[in-house]
Amino acid sequence: MNQSIIREEGLTEISSLFLLQKKGCDRVNRKRKYRIWILWCLGLDLLVIGCMGYRYLDRRIPDEIHVQKEQEIKLEQILEHPLLTFEDAVSVSGTGSYTIGCSIMGVIPFKEIRVIPSESRSVYVSGSTVGIYMETDGVLIIDTGEILSEEGISREPAKNIVKPGDYIMAFNSQIIHSKRELIEDIRALDGEDVEVEVLRNDKIIPLTLTPVKDVQGAYKLGIWVRDNTQGIGTLTFVDEDGRYGALGHGISDIDTGKLLKIESGALYQAEILGVQKGSNGNPGELAGLIRYDSDRVIGSIKKNGENGIYGNFTGPQDQITLMRMPMAYKQELETGPAQILCCVDGQVSAYDAEIVKIDLNHEDTNKSFVIHVTDQELIDKTGGIVQGMSGSPVIQNEKFAGAVTHVFVQDSTSGYGIFAETMLENSGKNQQ
């Protein structure tokens, strides 16, 4: 009896000891897993911090800079940063430029910077409001739609065949220049399949469409198209060769959001009729009048690019504000006071502003710096930056520093800007 009790007590103690050991092992395993989880989190944090640090340095240090030939400037003085060390040796190219390497804290290789000695440049900055008219290269498809057939059935013959953003370049082997030509060709259809050639992502694609006869007995393809656009913007500058730059950003189709591929266009004199003030959540706009008369043409549009519209300025110069001014290279910009030249009441005026942030190597060149309007007169008139002011020159230290490109939707007093040298580089590439 006593032995049985002792045996049972012994078994109970062993079981309890086993349970304690098991709990202890579970506790150790949990601690080990927790430590591993902590290490993973620390590793991930370090990785994120490292990526953010690299991104910060990459934006702070450009891949390429221009310097004036007559200036003896060390790169370290231009791009000084406590974490970066610049090499003493340079690699010279046949174009007169050279590259210099830099590293993080003298240990981790970072990037090579191309330095291009350039002549100092002056341009005629403007700020005048201009009218814009552009015709597309081909006919732009903005959407497809349904057609009520003569049988009373809704059909969409172009669906999943053409895409918004396609340009119709040919119709049954005939080159298409305008929407009018396309409409005339469609009116002549007799129900047979038609062959169209569209430009999509810079490639010509042949497609076949089957027209549908609607309830009025006319054949239709079920596509919505556009072949031109117009609007108000600001002339930024005219260079000594008569080439201009405006807007600081490209013109995209309002429906597709894609940059318009243009065949031709013109700049016109424009008049400001009123201002819809901007506010937080409402960008506002300039209301203007454009008379599309031949005697009001002031230039041709040769290029609609990501960094603005460009072409040849033809005048008359007495109708447009032009002020000669030296250009500032991007590394010359600094946070602090600046001015915006714009026309909001019939004449170009200079308004006080402040450059609050600069990204020398931003992936979107239209957002290279942030500018904040401080002039109460401009804020009272417009609320800050409004649509139509894109292209307004930014002046700092009596040099042409850049142009306004976008307004912040939630802060109408602030927006993005593009460097002057970026626009001038693009203006030299538009001539054929």
**Per-residue pLDDT reduced to its tens digit, 245-286:** 999 999 998 888 889 999 999 999 999 899 999 888 888 899
Residues facing residue 378 across a β-bridge: none
**Does 432 map to a domain?**
no
Residue pair 212/149 in contact (Cβ under 8 Å)? The answer is: yes
Percentage with pLDDT > 70 across the chain: 88
Is 173 one of the annotated active-site residues of the chain? no
Residue-level pLDDT at 81: 72
- Is the domain of 300 the same as that of 342? yes
**CATH number, domain with residue 243:** 2.40.10.120
Quick one: 85 and 177 in the same domain? no
Catalytic option among 128, 239, 249, 362: 249
Look at residue 139 and tell me if it is in a domain.
Answer: no
Tell me the range of 8-17, 84-93, 107-116, 179-188 where mean pLDDT is highest: 179-188
Indicate whether 210 and 240 sit together in one domain.
no
Q: Look over the chain and give the mean of its residue pLDDT values, rounded to a whole number.
A: 86
195 with 152, same domain?
A: yes
A 10 A CB-CB count for 161 gives: 18
Is the same domain home to 364 and 238?
yes
Q: How far apart are CA 62 and CA 110, in angstroms?
A: 12
Same domain for 360 and 300:
yes
Of these residues, 126, 349, 390, 392, which one is catalytic?
A: 390
Show which of 221, 237, 266 is a domain's final residue. Answer: 221
Beta-ladder partners of 201 = none
Show the domain range for 389.
122-133+229-427
| 139: β partners | 168
Is 91 found in the same domain as 78? yes
Characterize the bridge pairing of strands 399-408 and 348-358: unpaired
Residue 22 placed within a domain: yes
pTM given for the model:
0.81
141 in any annotated domain:
no
- The number of folded domains in the chain is 4
- Return the residue matching tokens 């690299």: 54
State whether 266 and 313 are in the same domain: yes
Q: Is residue 349 part of a domain?
A: yes
Q: What is the CATH number of the domain that holds 186?
A: 2.30.42.10
Start-to-end CA distance of the chain, whole Å, equals 113
Look at residue 430 in the predicted model and tell me its pLDDT. 42
Contact indicator for 125, 236 with CB cutoff of 8 Å: yes
Pair (253, 178) in one structural domain? no
Angstrom distance (rounded) from CA 136 to CA 176: 11
* Residue 140: inside a domain: no
Answer yes or no: 177 catalytic. no
CA pair distance 424, 107, nearest whole angstrom: 37
Please give the pLDDT value at position 242: 93
Is residue 138 assigned to a domain?
no
336-342 average pLDDT score: 97
Exposure string of 235-268, with b = 16+ CB inside 10 Å and e = fewer, is bbbbbeeebbbbbbbbbebeebeeebbbeebbbb
Please, which pLDDT band fits residue 241 given cuts at 50, 70 and 90? very high
Question: Hey, what's the torsion of the CAs at 201, 204, 210, 212, to 10 degrees?
Answer: 60
By the 10 Å C-beta count (0-12 exposed, 13-18 middle, 19+ buried), 398 is classed as exposed
Strands 64-68 vs 108-118: parallel, antiparallel or unpaired: parallel
Q: Are residues 54 and 167 in the same domain?
A: no
Structural domain ending residue among the three candidates 168, 195, 221: 221
pLDDT for 22: 57
375 is catalytic: yes
Band of residue 225 on the pLDDT scale cut at 50, 70, 90:
very high
State the Cα angle at 318 between 314 and 319, rounded to 5°: 80
- Residue 4: inside a domain, yes or no? yes
| Sign of the alpha-carbon dihedral angle for 253, 259, 265, 266 | positive
Interacting residues of 315 by C-beta distance below 8 A, sequence separation 6+: 298
Q: Are residues 74 and 184 in the same domain?
A: no
Quick one: pLDDT band at residue 37, thresholds 50, 70, 90?
confident
Is the same domain home to 214 and 328?
A: no
Q: How many CA atoms within 13 Å lie on the side-chain side of 236?
A: 34
The pLDDT value given to residue 428 = 76
Among 169, 199, 221, the domain boundary falls at 221
Q: Of these residues, 128, 375, 392, 414, which one is catalytic?
A: 375
